[in-house]
A = this chain, B = another copy of it.
Amino acid sequence: MTTLQLTEQILKKKSFLCIGLDVDLDKIPQHLLKDEDPIFAFNKAIIDTTHHLCVAYKPNIAFYEAYGIKGWKALQKTINYINENHPEIFTIADAKRGDIGNTSKMYAKAFFEDLNFDSITVAPYMGKDSVEPFLSFQGKHTILLTLTSNPGALDFQVQKIDQKAFYQQVLEISKTWSNSGNLMYVVGATQAESLSEIREIVPDSFLLIPGVGAQGGNLEDVWKYGKNSNVGLLVNSSRGIIYASSDENFAQAAKLKAKELQQQMEEMLKT
């Protein structure tokens, strides 16, 4: 999917919502545990009730790996289900990978080819040759960790190098890499005040914004400081939507929570 197509979907659905599919068997409704594949059953129900309200789904790969082969099968079924039934939806493997060149190439192959995700999140610490293997896939997107939503972001990401925060260096240097047009950036919603500075460095790129909801980020600030002329935002909510209820009506409860966010976004998109 191209970023142009993504913007079209946003305008059509009046939503820039991404739903995080972070399935924890301790948190899903207990009746699903009788299912042969509870993780997929949960995801399918969420997707069926929310696909018209969001433009992206983001499975967090850790939650699948934690269940070994069973989890990996559920991930495969989930991405196939989205691709087959809702090919217009942008898919994000939230994997935060990054390794030396030949290894990053293996990860890119796993997520872009075998699983057929549209994008993957990648950590910048190992630099250019750890990210470029992902960027070389045409029609796929690499979402670089930039300024994250967790408290530990303060440990390294905001430290100053030559008057600039480290995360700003990450943005600037990443623009020099081959196929940098395939880059997007992760910026936590809890860091909304930094979005203006980020927009000066990467005015045209899409930003993936986690941290609205459970982590305390504010959607209005994200919109105010983060949007660009093509919208350029994907705002993610995970726990706030998928765990809205632990009863049998969980998928309807998730729909209502997604609808709330979609309606706020619809108002913003009018301006």
Contacts and interface: CB of A to CB of B under 8 A. Distances in A.
Interface string A90-110: 000000111111011011011
Contacts of A68: 72, 76, 110, 114-115
Interface in A103-123: 103-104, 106-107, 109-110, 114-115, 123
A127 B103 contact: no
A149 B151 CA distance: 29
Nearest to A215: B100
A22 B129 CA distance: 18
Interface stretch (A35-43, A158-166, A197-205, A217-225): A158-166
Contact of A98 (B96, B101, B161, B169): B96
A106 B65 contact: yes
A173 interface: yes
Contacts of A145: 125-126
24 contacts: A24-B106, A62-B110, A63-B103, A63-B106, A66-B107, A66-B114, A68-B115, A96-B97, A100-B150, A124-B155, A125-B156, A126-B150, A127-B150, A127-B152, A127-B154, A127-B155, A128-B155, A129-B150, A129-B152, A130-B152, A155-B173, A156-B173, A161-B161, A161-B166
A100 B161 contact: no
A214 B93 CA distance: 31
A39 to B, nearest CB: 13
Nearest to A239: B102
Contacts of A237: none
Contact of A65 (B110, B129, B152): B110
Contacts of A69: 69, 72-73, 76
A101 B153 CA distance: 12
A124 B126 contact: no
User: What 9 pairs between A and B have smallest CB-CB spacing?
Assistant: A127-B152, A127-B155, A62-B106, A66-B106, A128-B152, A129-B152, A100-B150, A66-B110, A62-B103
Contact of A159 (B66, B67, B73, B161): B161
A65 B99 CA distance: 14
B161 A160 contact: yes
A170 interface: yes
Contacts of A110: 62, 65-68
Interface string A1-32: 00000000000000000000010100000000
